[in-house]
Structure 1
Amino acid sequence: MALNDQEVQEIQLEFLENIKQNKPSLTTETGKKYKVINSVNKVTQAIAVAPLNAEGQPDYSQTTIVVAGTQPVSDFSGNYANHLVSTANALGARNGMSAQYKDIRQFYDDTEKKIQPHQGQISNMSGFSQSAPPVAKIAAEEGVPKVTNFMDWGGVAATDLFDSPLGQVLTKAGAPVWGSTGAGETEITKKDRAYLKKHSTSYSDSENNTTIIDGFAGIIPYGQVREVEGSGHKASFVHLKGNGLDIDHYVKNNQFCSGMTEEQVRKIAKYKAEKAKETVWNKPDTWFDSTDPQTYIDEYKKTYGAFASVKDQLGTKLANSQVNITNLQTRLGYTNDSKTRIFLRKELVQEVANTASLQGQIYDLALQKEFSDAYIQMTALISQLRTEAFGLANFLSVAEVEELLAPLSIDKVWSTGNEATSLAAMATTKSQLETFSTNINQAANRLEEVDKANALIFE
């Protein structure tokens, strides 16, 4: 089983400090622990880790490789030459695959050798900025189940699309190209892209803060691309939950992101339109903001794609919640620290409550859809039968045919009362599950208070 995107992001945010100190283990901000299997801190910076299971032992079947991006020249720590070479590689990536491909390929092979005695598997790979395209390429070559990239730099140049007429047009249109990549003829092929479509997700800022100057405006031509409103070239810029964006976070903050429902987009568009009426005279970028909500709705569809369905969104949340429950149970199994256990117990109870509420909403939607689909099918069938009846009625008048077909109407065959009764019963069940969820959350808060009080007694 592969780690989820949120867990991989947590490793991205922690591992650089870890490899600088050459630590044998890594603990993320949320308290999840990993054994370090392999690491490198040279021009390319990378780490390979395995999560600890309930017994505190490394689970090599979930070995994860995470690679950093360009080392900024402005970072005056460590080896200056590494920073300069790393930056040169990023600029060279305008002319093909990043030179980091060779380093990451070697790191992958070395990690694979280390986990072979444990019957391990590399289940996840993650790249940031210029390391993202080579990570995607190697993952496709090796059939890695899950790729989670952030702010891919040089995506078009790394593919065979660069050699296409479109690539040449983009280059001539103002995409300067220089430098040697050192990666030979390596490129992300059509076959690779077909694999990445099912196994890779790239997260990016909608304004492509830094990647816009990669020579091709930061376009990511492989995998599933998820964007969030704003500008920020760092892995922490996107808020994730499980295997996707934390859409509730963006709704709460009135920001657009991929995967929103039409209702959510309209709510945010209305807010933006109202906000635009409050022109800030010393901020020129606000002078021409539209006061028409439709402008922002059109902008959303152009930048982030089609609206998501409520059902799909709820399904994603439920899947994430169920994975979180498993992870929390595992962490409770190997954690002895009392304060950490207090936090995990409360979070586990709340996640169970969240699952109950989500299931109620999903069942309610499913029942509504069943009735809606059945009604549509029944109406279509009656219409078809009426058409066929009139076509066969050569010896009857229209009035006579109508009289014969009178019992065959949607009002006669469809019980509105039964539909209303069933939907009302489902609404009651949904309400009861939501009440249960609220009560459980309240109990979780009391549980935390009791745990803390007990912890103080034994200090």
Structure 2
Amino acid sequence: MTLTDKKIQNLQGVVKKYASYKEGEIFKVPETNEYYQVVNSIDETTQALAVVPVDNIKGDNPDYNQTTIVVAGTQLVGKEGFGEEAWNSTKNVIEARSGMTPQVDDISDFYNSTAAKLEKEHGGGTISNMSGFSQSGPAVAKVAAEHQVPKITNFMDWAASSALYSKANPKGITAEEKAWLDQHATIYMDSTRDVTYLDGKNHGDIPYGKKYIVEGTGDPISDHDTAFPRIKGNGLDIDWYVKHGQFASGMTKEQVIKVARKKAKEAAKNWDIKDPSTWFNSTDYRFYLLRYVMTYGDFAVGPSQTELLSSYKKTVKELRSQLKTATGSKRISLREELLRAVAEKARLQAELKVQEIKDEIAQAKEALQADIRATRQAMYQIAEELTDSEVAELLSPYTMENLWDSQAEAQNLAEADAYQNRMMAFADKLDAAADNLIATDQEGAALFSTNNK
């Protein structure tokens, strides 16, 4: 089994720190229970590690069939010193705007030397994962596709479109390699493309692999970072993004609506005539739905409303149980979750109930129409001795206008909509209560901190 995207992300966070480690050395990824043994390393213009997972700091049970190559991003001049390697690395960034980064040769050599070490020193093994970040992303994609590495996990690939093969770029990614990447590569990227937008005329477009897009903040320092996407397993932690009112690709329509409502509320709350930056923030959640599709793609297919309701009922029950023993900040956090879960449960119950009523009315109406059609056909068949006008006169009472109470239908539908509106308003109040709960807790914590200075 290959390493998950989350574990690859964790490795990306430490690759520069441990790039100087030699073959056989072992390290632990901070704040995890993940241990790795170094198979190969390079700490020059290109910084990379080839590692295998092990059970502990002693290096027990190395799994050479999960050999993973992780290549760091650019060494920026100034941020990471003014040495020759940093200047070379920064120079490569500029060259990558017009073609495949020169780093591709380093990564190809590193792959080959790692494969040779596995064969010679460990009796074989499999390079199952490769990962690149920013400038190293397209080069990693190229080398991984050449060797048909089964899993490629990249972050914010720089100048990816410029890395495609052409006569002017013979080292670029070929059509066959792109086809492999489309099936085996996952690319995590920020929606605002704060850094990659500057990579040339294609403005950060990535033409290969499956893209996971997360809502950017507009801050190039925080967004252009392998740690920026919230990952869970082999995908985004969608629940985290929904809870924090942020968009991410892979959300269902229901999840997008929930986030859109939060954004619309936040826009209304923060509108200030003295602050021009707030003047054009929409307070209509439907605006954010449209923006989601334009930026993140189609909605994901999620569970049915009935399944969601069942899930929320279970969640409410579990949270109430946990609240019985929780104390302090944990109790406040659970109360917030409970309020939001009850709010969603109320919304779903209202939607399902109203839809049930509308479906029953529509079915009854359709059944009556079918009966009227059948009655009229039967009358024409048995009334052979009558003229068409006489049959029509006999059938004149058998019409939808006479037999269906349109006023009652309209009244029932209006009452159903009014019920749904009341439930939605109730759910909104629960969400507001949850917001106030967190705000009050934060104010209390700040006051406590001030009093203890």
Q: TM-score category by the smaller chain?
A: 0.5 to 0.7
Cα distance in 2 for partners of 1:11, 1:398 equals 80
Cα distance in 2 for partners of 1:27, 1:309 equals 38
TM-score, reference length from structure 2:
0.63
Cα distance in 2 for partners of 1:5, 1:311 equals 24
The 5 A counterparts of 1:343-422 are: none
TM-score, reference length from structure 1:
0.62
Residue 36 and residue 291 in structure 1: after superposition, are their counterparts in 2 closer, same or farther (change >3 A)? same
Q: Contact between 2:15 and 2:71, CA under 8 Å: does it hold in 1?
A: no
Tell me which structure has the larger Cα radius of gyration: 2
- In the other structure, the counterpart of 1:186 is 171
CA drift of 1:76 comes to 4.5
1:73 aligned onto 2:77: yes
Cα distance in 2 for partners of 1:269, 1:283 equals 22
For the residue of structure 2 that corresponds to 1:225, the secondary structure is strand
RMSD: 3.0
Moved more, 20-29 or 241-250: 20-29
Which gives a bigger RCO, structure 1 or 2 (Cα 8 Å, sep 6+)?
1
Q: Contact between 2:165 and 2:171, CA under 8 Å: does it hold in 1?
A: no
CA drift of 1:118 comes to 2.7
- Which residue identity lines up with residue 165 of structure 2 in the other structure? D
For the residue of structure 1 that corresponds to 2:69, the secondary structure is strand
- In the other structure, the counterpart of 1:254 is 245
Cα distance in 1 for partners of 2:240, 2:69 equals 28
Cα distance in 2 for partners of 1:192, 1:127 equals 16
Q: Contact between 1:132 and 1:153, CA under 8 Å: does it hold in 2?
A: yes
Cα distance in 1 for partners of 2:40, 2:125 equals 13
- In the other structure, the counterpart of 2:234 is 243
Cα distance in 1 for partners of 2:73, 2:45 equals 10
Cα distance in 2 for partners of 1:307, 1:141 equals 33
- In the other structure, the counterpart of 1:119 is 124
- Which residue identity lines up with residue 52 of structure 2 in the other structure? A
CA drift of 1:19 comes to 2.0
Give 2:136's match in structure 1, choosing from 131, 135, 139. Answer: 131
Cα distance in 1 for partners of 2:98, 2:167 equals 8
CA drift of 1:198 comes to 1.1
Q: Deviations over 1:405-426 (max 9, x none)?
A: xxxxxxxxxxxxxxxxxxxxxx
For the residue of structure 1 that corresponds to 2:255, the secondary structure is helix
Q: Deviations over 1:185-230 (max 9, x none)?
A: 2111221111111100000000001000000211000000110001
The 5 A counterparts of 1:108-257 are: 108-116=111-119, 117-160=122-165, 185-215=170-200, 216-231=202-217, 232-257=223-248
Q: Contact between 2:70 and 2:130, CA under 8 Å: does it hold in 1?
A: yes
Give 2:54's match in structure 1, choosing from 48, 52, 55. Answer: 52
- In the other structure, the counterpart of 1:169 is none
The 5 A counterparts of 1:310-325 are: 310-311=302-303
Unaligned runs of 5+ in 2: 218-222, 305-362, 364-369, 384-453
For the residue of structure 2 that corresponds to 1:238, the secondary structure is coil
Unaligned runs of 5+ in 1: 164-183, 313-378, 380-385, 401-459
1:64 aligned onto 2:68: yes
Cα distance in 2 for partners of 1:7, 1:266 equals 31
Cα distance in 2 for partners of 1:284, 1:197 equals 43
CA drift of 1:15 comes to 2.0
- In the other structure, the counterpart of 2:102 is 99
Q: How many residues align?
A: 306
Residue 100 and residue 280 in structure 1: after superposition, are their counterparts in 2 closer, same or farther (change >3 A)? farther
